[in-house]
Chain A
Amino acid sequence: MRRVAITGIGVISPLGNNLSQFHRSLAEARSGIRALPAELAQGSGVKVAGLVDWSPAPMFKDAEAANLDRVSQFALAAAAEALAASALDLAAADRNRIGVYWGTGMGGGHALEGAYKQVYGAGEWRLRPLTVVMAMSNAAGSNVAVRYGLRGPFANFSTACSSSALALGEAMRAIAAGRADAIVAGGAEALLTPGTLAAWQALRTLAPGDADNPAASCKPFDRRRAGLVLGEGAAAFVLEEESQARARGARIHGLLTGYGNSCDAVHMSRPDRGGQMRAMQQALADAGLAPEDIGYINAHGTATAVGDVVEGEAINAVFGDAEPRVSSTKSLHGHLLGGAGALELAAALLALQEGLLAPTAFLEQPDPAIRLRHVALRAERIAPPRAVMSNSFGFGGSNAVLIAERAAAPAAR
């Protein structure tokens, strides 16, 4: 059986623009959520977001940056870190056997909104020729493939907030099935534009923002939770067939062994316990693990009134007495939407590798209706668990759940 090793990770996030900064911020429970600058918020009424502190230089020259939507810049930067960390020798590798599986909810939101603003706002119909290839949903993943000449299987997944978890799970399956030997997989989102913010605001699901302490605006599982906080960023992983990774002496961060995918099929935005349970149960079965093997769950935990309760019930129903530790790191980095599953797998791997559980920050008053073993306020250190889970549940009822296991786990089953 072909198993899948994680050999490189790259992160662009509100908590820092590389993996070590991201992990340090999680360990210190340092929030990356802040007040939205007026030029982004404009008339949307949105007050806070998890913003990436980003300058395209020095990675991109001026003209190059101008031809890449922000979401593609994030994707390329995260992929560059992941590939460099993997030490995979692309020049020597058969790149027909290396693919890209990417996830994004929206695609090039900045390019699209800029074009609409010009056409409808200014009546200027002469648009940049690159508008289409900058805005299309698969642009971020395709830019990664083009940059590195990765000619193997390519797919772009767009299932709202589960997009990048789906990309990672499907990439794992493609490698296991022998369709590729390695895949750069992950996701990115960059849709903090005035028009998109206004659309989210209209949905009445965003936290109003903590005026006194914007960093503490997202409070998953807390009685005072008031909605989600949007974020932006990217996370990329180099996934490799395990024996190949071991043969070249690669550092293995963990094995991706479980993937569940289901649709609630009941409502476009209201989450469903049954759909979430099916995805978690599938992931456990896929990995051949029992509930008690999972030591930590990085919850979807968006801090909406209904969502957190439903996820708590679903976890209780699947895990029973096993009671794994649970946190939502969205309290620190906000909701990366299509990029969330990938970024949160990177957070879960901190627990897997070091036993360091990133907390649900600001969880001072746990909602008694949600009965979970929270990691609250501050990070905790435990003996590294055998396996960790990351939940991603998207609008449209699209659920994706990933399980990663310690690299030291025996290869034979």
Chain B
Amino acid sequence: MDTLGRIKELAAKEFSIDAHGLDPAAPLDTLGIDSLSFIEFMFKVEEEFGVSVSDEDLKAIKTLADLERHVAAALSAAGKA
């Protein structure tokens, strides 16, 4: 599964929502994901991919697509992708 697919699967599990219906471009709050839930979710994303997203980068993430780009960049920098 690609990075976005894995992120969607994780989000679906964490927030009890349907992975197929998830729009990667939708703002997180419209998906019912508030700031506290998102920080807990990021913890699990970092565990899943073995990467670390800085506080600075975290602030820029507004959608699952943003998240996918940061994770992909982190994986690339770490030589994992």
Contacts and interface: CB of A to CB of B under 8 A. Distances in A.
A128 B16 contact: no
Contacts of B15: 63
Contacts of A128: 40, 43
A95 B39 CA distance: 29
Contact of B36 (A61, A63, A64, A130): A130
A61 B16 contact: yes
Contacts of B42: 129
Interface in A225-266: none
Identify whether the interface residues of B are mostly helix, strand, loop, or mixed: helix
A133 interface: yes
Interface residues on A, range: under 10
A370 B19 CA distance: 64
B13 interface: yes
Nearest to A133: B36
B40 A67 contact: yes
A4 B78 CA distance: 64
Interface string B37-56: 00110110000000000000
B18 to A, nearest CB: 13
Interface residues of B, number: 9
B29 interface: no
Contacts of B23: none
Contacts of B16: 61, 63-64
Nearest to A62: B13
A67 B33 CA distance: 14
Contacts of A63: 13-16
A130 B43 CA distance: 10
B9 to A, nearest CB: 12
A130 B36 CA distance: 8
A64 B16 CA distance: 8
B13 A129 contact: no
A75 to B, nearest CB: 19
Nearest to B14: A63
Interface string A45-77: 000000000000000011110010000000000
Contacts of B39: 129
A62 B15 CA distance: 10
Interface in B1-33: 13-16
Nearest to A61: B16
A128 B43 CA distance: 7
Nearest to A127: B43
Interface in B47-70: none
18 contacts: A61-B16, A62-B13, A63-B13, A63-B14, A63-B15, A63-B16, A64-B16, A67-B40, A128-B40, A128-B43, A129-B36, A129-B39, A129-B40, A129-B42, A129-B43, A130-B36, A130-B40, A133-B36
Given A129-B40, A129-B43, 16 more contacts: A61-B16, A62-B13, A63-B13, A63-B14, A63-B15, A63-B16, A64-B16, A67-B40, A128-B40, A128-B43, A129-B36, A129-B39, A129-B42, A130-B36, A130-B40, A133-B36
Q: Which 10 A-B pairs have the closest CB atoms?
A: A129-B39, A129-B40, A61-B16, A130-B40, A63-B14, A129-B43, A63-B16, A63-B13, A128-B43, A128-B40
